[in-house]
A and B are shown apart, each in its own frame.
Chain A
Amino acid sequence: MKRYRKRISSVLYYVFAVLAIAFFGLPLLWLILTPFNSRASLAVEIPTAPTLDNFRAVFQNKFAVQALTQNNLIIAIGTMLGVTLIASLAAYALSRARIPGRNAMAYTLMLFSSVVTGTAAMVPIFLIIMGMGLIDQHLGVILVLIGGNLPTAIFMMRDFVDDIPASYEESAMISGASPFQIFKDVALPQVRPGMMVVAVWSFVNAWGAFLIPFILLRSSDKLPASTAIYSFYTEAGTPNILLVSAYALLYTLPVVVFYLLVNWKYGFRFFGGIKR
């Protein structure tokens, strides 16, 4: 009876795994195969004669290449560094100092963050960035993206900081280390996996950001790939499917590689599953 039950559960496990692979994988097949085809189609076709011509044509488009190799990197790395550092400091403070109302604060911030990433805030954000003289500059985009991503990053980071025991920090405090030394040399090394999760998450968000760069940048040589991809449309407004898919694949690779790297070195997971 027990062996019978075990076999059923193992069969169900494989059936579930196959269904999951189909559900999540099928929508991506087109993206992986089309760039290597010579004939444009919306159908998934395994290339009979795989070609790299589409990638060659994409590299002819200097404007789109610059978007990927420069603008996207500047925006994503700037946002990632800002979010990870500021969120770590803030989460540490919320976890280790007795700041009144800190739990409610974390939630109120989450609420506000969904406002700033929403469409309605685009007008005031445009006005603020204009007031700072940062329209059409990457710095303006980076600052807004940091603001929008911080609350969730603090929320996730707090979970990691709450999970590490304070005893090492206490001994460091007794031996006379300054609060910043304790943070940098004792606490940070222990929450590194958490910082990596936040880093990947904020990098991914900035890398894919569409609306904010679209509104805050003007010169076409400063736009990131999310908007530059539309330069592969014809003047009639129809996409050149082969080039769009080749560019989309190139645009996707960096986030995939970054994620795989972090997952391999640190493991990409939440610690206690975000308890509160």
Chain B
Amino acid sequence: MEQRRPILTLKTGTFFLSPAIFFVILFLIVPFVWIIVVSFTNQSLTGATALNPEFVGLQNYLDLFNFDTWLTRGNFGSSMIITLEFVIGSAWIGQVVLGMGLAIAFYRRKGALREFVNTLVILCWIIPDVVVAFSWSAYLDRDYGTLNAILNLIGLGRPDWQLAFPLFAIILFNSWRGAAFSMLLFSSALATIPPSYLETAEVAGASFWQKQRDIILPLLRGHILTDMVLITLWTFNTFSPFLLTGGGPAFKTEVISIFTYRIAFKFFDFGMGGAIAVVAMVINFALALVYLLMLRKQAVYS
């Protein structure tokens, strides 16, 4: 490509960016720095350490990673494991697989059925959190819920979802809640594949699975990566399961965002809350880094 003069000079570009930069500095960078600083102190809401917090060095981090207790329920390690299961179950398996299944099933199809399913999936995504929480509490209710009514009908009994399988319940919930984003992303990605690729394959007699494996998956690899990073970040930080289970019973659904909330706002231990947030950020950052490296590698090969 020839080097053309860019439409915006660096100066105008920066000017256009300035409102965004203002918001980013005020509401992202400043809180970020605050969290890092506070994580090395014992600041709390009340008491002597509220006004004059003391520098405690790595104490908060050492407490988090106290390997004698950290796997006990309600502690940091246990919460990390729950978060990992939650992310793998609801983001990587639930949302990516569901979203891709929907996108592929409705690819190159038209008509009312496609529109209806599309709209329904997107509605599940845009309905307010609080409403969804009420609706799902009713849905999962042991005695009256729709889910158990159906399971009972086919002879599977009435499991108590929120007591016996709470983690599975929030994984199911979050897959349902977020599948729309992956569906939208993969649908528009599929639309960029030239139809001639698939037509040629069909003429050559390729089966459905061969087409998926040899044409669609390789062309979508970059989109799958993008999708996974975005929804991993969002799932890692989502607070909505709190509205369904409150982190319980017995901390069984206490993902890292709910754990942070409990430490920072129930115990008002801001220092420790900050330390948890810093560890979570480091993990997010590492994930994004792996992703960027994979994208770069892919760009080299293609």
Does A204 reach chain B (CB closer than 8 Å)?
yes
B233→A111 contact, CB < 8 A = yes
A105 to chain B, nearest CB (A): 9
CB neighbors of B among A1-52 (8 A)? 5, 9, 13, 16-17, 20-21, 23-31, 34, 41-44
Of all chain B residues, the one with the shortest Cβ separation from A208 is B128
- B123-143: CB near A (< 8 Å → 1, else 0) gives 110111111001111110101
A226 touches B126 (CB 8 A): no
Judge whether B130 and A259 touch: CB under 8 Å: no
Given contacts A173-B7, A179-B12, A270-B188, contact A114 B146 (CB under 8 A): no
Residue among A5, A89, A104, A152 with the highest chain B CB neighbour number at 10 A = A89
Cβ of B288 under 8 Å from chain A: yes
Given contacts A89-B16, A115-B31, contact A27 B146 (CB under 8 A): yes
Chain B residues with CB below 8 A from A276, complex form: 222, 226, 295
Q: 1/0 per residue A115-155: CB within 8 Å of B?
A: 11111111111011000000000000001101110111010
The answer to whether A263 has its CB under 8 Å from any CB of chain B is: yes
Chain B neighbourhood of A208, CB < 8 A: 127-131
- Chain A binding surface SS class: helix
Given the complex, which residues of A lie within 8 Å of B64, measured CB to CB?
A: none
The answer to whether B31 touches A116 (Cβ under 8 A) is: yes
Interface string of B146-187 (1 = CB under 8 A from A): 110110000000000000000000000000100100001111
Query: Chain B residues near A69 (CB, 8 Å)?
Result: none
Chain B interface mostly helix, strand, loop or mixed?
helix
Q: Are A260 and B119 in contact (CB under 8 A)?
A: yes
A266 interface hit (Cβ, 8 Å): no
Q: Closest A-chain residue to B276, C-beta based?
A: A120
Contact of B141 among A25, A42, A111 (CB under 8 A): A42
Are A27 and B139 also in contact (CB < 8 A) when A120-B35, A270-B188 are?
Answer: yes
Q: Is A211 an interface residue (CB 8 A)?
A: yes
Which residues of B line the A interface, CB within 8 A? 4, 6-10, 12-17, 19-20, 23-24, 26-32, 34-35, 38, 101-102, 105, 109, 113, 116-117, 119-124, 126-131, 134-139, 141, 143-147, 149-150, 176, 179, 184-192, 207-208, 222-223, 226-227, 230, 233-234, 236-237, 239, 243, 257-258, 260-261, 264-265, 270, 273-274, 276-277, 280-281, 284-285, 288, 292, 295
Known interface pairs A127-B34, A128-B26; 17 further A-B residue pairs with C-beta atoms within 8 A, sorted by A's residue number? A28-B135, A30-B139, A43-B141, A92-B8, A93-B13, A110-B233, A116-B31, A118-B260, A119-B257, A121-B31, A121-B277, A128-B31, A144-B27, A173-B7, A248-B134, A251-B130, A251-B131
